[in-house]
Amino acid sequence: MSQIVIDGVSWALLIAGSILVLVGALGLMRMPDFYTRMHAAGITDTLGADLILLGLMVQAGFTLVTVKLLLIGAFLFFTSPTSTHAIANAAYTAGLRPSISEWDTDEPPEGPERDHGEEDPRP
């Protein structure tokens, strides 16, 4: 009985992790801008990988393998956000800026009257 519970929980975690990895990959292909793509890729590395590792840990039970998986999860938890940050920081230092959508700087869409007395301050 408990084997079914363990299997079910680990299946759910593995599938959730795989869906997040797929979402990350889809975002990487479809996002328009570099920074939004980095945001999508970050999901793959952190939450996707950690959920898959949790699913594997549930399968492994209380053995040495679980401790090793826990350590791998801890290292991934440290390093993948750092690598995402490093890439985004390198792009920012190189001069790439996030693209701001056009209607923020041109006419805003039809809406309630807003009292913008001055020019839009954004470049």
The residues of the shown chain that bind other proteins, judged by CB under 8 A, are 75, 78-79, 82, 85-86, 89
Q: How far is the CB of 113 from other proteins (least distance, A)?
A: 44
CB of 78 to other proteins, least distance (A): 6
CB 112, min distance to other proteins, A = 42
Looking at beta carbons only, is 7 or 120 nearer to other proteins? Answer: 7
Q: Give just the sign of the alpha carbon dihedral 58, 61, 65, 69.
A: positive
Contact predicate 8/42, CB 8 Å: no
- Altogether, the residues listed in the chain come to a count of 123
Nearer to other proteins, 89 or 99 (CB): 89
- Name which of 63 and 105 has its Cβ closer to other proteins: 63
- Are 123 and 104 within 8 A, CB to CB? no
Cβ contact 36:24 at 8 Å = no
